[in-house]
Structure 1
Amino acid sequence: MSEQNSRKKDNLLHNTKLYIDILSTQWPIVYSPDYNISFLGLEKLHPFDSGKWGKIVYFLKEEKMINDESIVKAQEAQEDDLLVVHSKRYLNKLKNHFLEGLQEWSFIVATITEILPVAFLPNFIIQRKVLRPFRTQTGGTIMAGKLAIDRGWAINVGGGFHHCSSEQGGGFCAYADITLAIKFLFERVEAVSTAMIIDLDAHQGNGHERDFMDDNRVYIMDVFNRYIYPGDGFAKLRAGTGGYMTGSNLLAGAIKWKIELDWDTEDSEYLQKVETLMSKALQEVTPDIIVYNAGTDILDGDQLGGLAISPQGIIKRDQAVFEAAQKHKIPILMVTSGGYQRSTARIIADSILNLHRLQLIDQRVL
């Protein structure tokens, strides 16, 4: 008997507030104002727009697609939820770090957020101003996983913390929301036994790749700039034996299908590679759910992504992924992940509006 079925059989699953049923009048779009990060102006020391999630929702409301009643309010992931993937040891690292036994400081969180002055703030401030927003976005991703199965699609306006694994955060990612959403589905939804992660953020998704290194139920497609953070060679390796066929090449690794891009890759090359690889991947396996990490740091001019994709290229990319999911009748969960320019919120909103216009997402209950 698998560990998953054993836990179900023995009723060992913890009680969670994240798996809820929603009204038929609601969109499976998850958001909370608590996603947005603002504390003493320190958030401006990182290029990430820490208020972009609220801006996305504002633009969608402005276009009359949604309102406060029609979207799903995200709930904060609690410690028992996080323990589905993370260890107590890791979670305690985020809570307390002592300097000379006198004061709780926040060195671990400073490293994860890449904002060094955070190290000198008391941890209780960091819990409220930084980690709580991350936990709420993580709860949103877990919630959206269930809604994707219920409705055929779901979007978490936040999330996509793909650099965090069960034991280590980094790259502005403190909790492994993608891993958590998939593990919740494996444990709680009988119809879900396989998953595909399509990670199209500009950076390698090393967190979920490490977490699923030995789990053949999860197939990872990753398209990223080969020259930038995190450069995690270990996450490209797969413990144990075997590999997965990509065309004529046997690809061993936690990443089952990958493309490593060069600097300044533009729309035509990028879209052709993404669509070709996605077609091959979905010919080889039909997962029970797709988790789509839709980073916008591929945008031309992004100082951390190093690629040269236009706003229209991002919209076409998202459309292609949703079209593939619809063609193969696979539920899809989208998270918004990285994007380090002020224009990315508008682009994400425009992409969601485009999906709606094309009826790739709608409000109907399946």
Structure 2
Amino acid sequence: MLKIAFSPIYKHHLPDNHRFPMEKYELLPGQLLYEGIVKEENFFTPKPIDEKWILTTHTKEYWDKLKTLSLSKAEIRATGFPLSAELVKREITILDGSVQAAIYALRHGIAMNIAGGTHHAYADRGEGFCLLNDIAITAKYLIQNHLAIKILVVDLDVHQGNGTARIFEDTPQVFTFSMHGEKNYPMRKEVSDLDCAVPDGTGDEVYLNLLQVQLEIILKKFSPDFLIYQCGVDVLESDKLGRLAMSVAGVKKRDAIVLNLAKSLNVPIMCCMGGGYSTSVGKIVEAHTQVYRLAQELYF
């Protein structure tokens, strides 16, 4: 059975200019149910994660500031969100969603989190709408509990997974791959194990060919036994922040490449949603929905 984490939104605690990007998290479960892709029993509700797992990735000083709401104005501004207890609770619930989805993936081959992909969070700070790094915490949970030995992070959000890259820069058990907009945020990129920076305006054919080549390069260097997939849809031509030129059909082909890779290698995969900022929320939801359709078609 495809298992999907669905975390609370707390959208009403955000200013109006922050609410639109959050709507997809509420609409996506309804779309999946409406299409009959899944049923209610496919969803599970994560709980706030134990702080010991947060401290595997984040510094105690930073975590203490977060939970006591004592970040400086500059630190809050860097995250892009107004800081609140509700926001922190949502973040630590998202962490559990990704960890539990990874455990379900070990059983069923694949599982999803309708949230997560918070790849801009560093060990000691948050950035770019990311307070805590669910990708890193999930990878460390799997390794420390001897559930995986070698983890491949495939990050296809349009923005580089800079926080994840920095966190794992000296961790040979985790291979970080980020394919992102060359001139997009963050302006100062980190060094992943493999980076593929694509120019503004890159469309389906060039992007998908590049992706295939990069994955072939990775598999010559690294043999994963678990895969974490950050499948942001801000690569769409319609995205307000993306600057690439991919179609919805192209995003589906991208997701199919990654899911088929995991299945062909017999490697469990956990998918977290990442970014998506098209002017049409319907287009965002449709682009995200595709990966769930693919999961059901390929695995169940």
TM-score between the two structures when normalised by the length of structure 1: 0.76
Q: 2:61 aligns with which of 86, 89, 92?
A: 89
1:155 matched to 2:120? The reply is: no
String of CA shifts for 1:189-243, please: whole Å, max 9, x gaps.
34x111111110000100110100111111111111111111334x21xxxxxxx
**Aligned residues, how many?**
297
User: For 1:76 and 1:170, how far apart are their aligned partners in 2?
Assistant: 21
Structure 2: state its 5+ residue gaps: none
Q: Deviation of residue 167 (structure 1)? A: 1.0
C-alpha contact 2:2 2:110 (8 A) present in aligned 1:
no
Q: What's 2:85 paired with?
A: 127
Q: What's 1:224 paired with?
A: 180
Q: Deviation of residue 41 (structure 1)? A: 5.3
The 5 Å alignment of 1:167-316 reads 167-190=124-147, 192-233=148-189, 235-236=190-191, 255-316=192-253
C-alpha contact 1:202 1:295 (8 A) present in aligned 2:
yes
User: For 1:27 and 1:351, how far apart are their aligned partners in 2?
Assistant: 12
Q: Deviation of residue 108 (structure 1)? A: 5.9
User: For 1:220 and 1:93, how far apart are their aligned partners in 2?
Assistant: 28
User: For 1:258 and 1:280, how far apart are their aligned partners in 2?
Assistant: 11
User: For 1:338 and 1:230, how far apart are their aligned partners in 2?
Assistant: 14
1:347 matched to 2:284? The reply is: no
User: For 2:146 and 2:68, how far apart are their aligned partners in 1?
Assistant: 35
Aligned letter for 2:162?
N
Q: Deviation of residue 106 (structure 1)? A: 6.8
User: For 1:135 and 1:97, how far apart are their aligned partners in 2?
Assistant: 14
Q: What's 2:38 paired with?
A: 66
String of CA shifts for 1:93-150, please: whole Å, max 9, x gaps.
223466xxxxxx87366324424xx3xxxx6xx112x222222111101111222222
C-alpha contact 1:194 1:218 (8 A) present in aligned 2:
yes
Q: 2:21 aligns with which of 34, 49, 73?
A: 49
Cα 1:174–1:108 change in 2 (3 A) is farther
Percent identical: 27
The 5 Å alignment of 1:22-37 reads 26-32=1-7, 34=8, 36-37=9-10
Aligned letter for 1:274?
L
Q: 1:110 aligns with which of 76, 79, 93?
A: 76
The two structures, once aligned, show a CA RMSD in angstroms of 1.9
Give 3-state SS (helix, strand or coil) of 1:270's partner. Answer: helix
C-alpha contact 1:48 1:339 (8 A) present in aligned 2:
no
User: For 1:40 and 1:53, how far apart are their aligned partners in 2?
Assistant: 15
C-alpha contact 1:201 1:337 (8 A) present in aligned 2:
yes
Give 3-state SS (helix, strand or coil) of 1:46's partner. Answer: helix
TM-score between the two structures when normalised by the length of structure 2: 0.92
Structure 1: state its 5+ residue gaps: 1-25, 99-104, 237-254
Moved more, 315-324 or 48-57: 48-57
C-alpha contact 1:156 1:336 (8 A) present in aligned 2:
yes
Aligned letter for 2:140?
K
C-alpha contact 2:233 2:284 (8 A) present in aligned 1:
yes
String of CA shifts for 1:148-205, please: whole Å, max 9, x gaps.
2222111111100000021111000001110000000001134x11111111000010
Give 3-state SS (helix, strand or coil) of 2:21's partner. Answer: coil
Larger radius of gyration: 1
User: For 2:74 and 2:289, how far apart are their aligned partners in 1?
Assistant: 33
Cα 1:207–1:57 change in 2 (3 A) is same
String of CA shifts for 1:40-69, please: whole Å, max 9, x gaps.
550x32386112122111111001222222
C-alpha contact 1:37 1:50 (8 A) present in aligned 2:
no
String of CA shifts for 1:313-350, please: whole Å, max 9, x gaps.
11110011001111111111111011112121222113
Runs of 4+ in 1 over 6 A off after TM superposition: none
Cα 1:112–1:147 change in 2 (3 A) is farther
Give 3-state SS (helix, strand or coil) of 1:149's partner. Answer: helix
Give 3-state SS (helix, strand or coil) of 1:134's partner. Answer: helix
Aligned letter for 1:157?
I
User: For 1:69 and 1:331, how far apart are their aligned partners in 2?
Assistant: 21
Cα 1:216–1:40 change in 2 (3 A) is closer
